[in-house]
Amino acid sequence: MKKMMIGVIFLYCTIAHPVIIIGHRGASGYAPENTLTAFARAIECNVDMVECDVWKCASGELVVFHDAKLERLTDGYGSVSSKTLDELKKLVVLGYERIPTLTELFDFVDRRVKLYVELKGADIAHDVLQLIEHYVEHKQWQYDDFLVASFDHIQLRTIKNINSAIPVAALIYGIPMQLGACAEDINAQVVCLDVEFINQRFVDDIHNRGMLVYVYTVNDRDDFTRLIDYGVDGVVTDYPGYIGVFFANNN
Ligand code: G3P
Ligand code: CA
């Protein structure tokens, strides 16, 4: 069975339509989100890219965590940005995991897959930019190994203004009046749309502006089939094994 699964995934990677599979918060359907275990599971599922969420903590380090507050996912309380790294490292995530720093995640991934870094915290563009530049200049990474995403397009513009080589993805929730124009304005390479707010016209508009379309969060195979018909370029999913195998079996 395992050999068959590996075979299917291999086929998916080599001959199928080039829709990339992005593990959401790692493979958060299979392991506690945004932990190294979740990223390991995503890589085992042969994803093209892993998505993570980033905040800056009180002692200045960038940490990988989704929520602004600690309560839902940890045994701590209060905001992530008000705690030092020492304080955050003492917490357990969903009972048994630890909060990684962004540096720990980069080192763990070690270029096996690409990294989709979503800026959650305010004013962290410079810190993320400097970390990416460090890995490109000193650790043999390439700018194309990264995709920096955010709903905060002002931070994305800051990154583009300083270093245009870093790929960015404009996250959009809803359907703006000017469709993909806001992403084109900041020279984004990718527009990442909510699965609840997508249609053929929106996808075509983004493609006509020369950008790729990714979609979050796609866990349902009917949604996935619809998105393939629209011609999207990537999907962000909590279940990369399930979605990847479904895709391979239907192409
Ligand atoms: O980056 C796409 C998606 O992760 C955005 O929503 O809430 O899961 O961070 P959220
Ligand atoms: Ca995210």
* Per-residue pLDDT tens listing for the chain (251 residues): 444 443 444 344 443 558 999 999 999 999 999 999 999 999 999 999 999 999 999 999 999 999 999 999 999 999 999 999 999 999 999 988 999 999 999 999 999 999 999 999 999 999 999 999 999 999 999 999 999 999 999 999 999 999 999 999 999 999 999 999 999 999 999 999 999 999 999 999 999 999 999 999 999 999 999 999 999 999 999 999 987 777 777 76
Name the residue type at position 251.
N
Give the largest Cα separation in the chain, rounded: 50
Query: Looking at residue 250, what is its pLDDT?
Result: 73
**Whose structure tokens read 């490109």?**
136
Ligand 1 atom nearest residue 24's Cα: 4
Q: What is the CA radius of gyration of the chain?
A: 18
Contact 115, 145 (CB under 8 A): yes
- Going by DSSP bridges, is the β-strand pair 190-194/234-237 parallel, antiparallel, or unpaired? unpaired
Q: Ligand 2: distance of its center to the CA of 197 in Å?
A: 17
Residues with a CB atom less than 6 Å from ligand 1? 24, 51, 53, 66, 118, 149, 171, 192, 216-217, 236
pTM over 0.95: no
Ligand 1 atom nearest residue 214's Cα: 2
Q: Ligand 2: distance of its center to the CA of 103 in Å?
A: 17
Q: What would the two tokens of residue 243 be?
A: 């979605």
Q: What would the two tokens of residue 69 be?
A: 């507050």
Which top CATH class is 2-52+120-249?
A: alpha beta
For the chain, what are the domain ranges? 2-52+120-249
**DSSP label at residue 51:** E
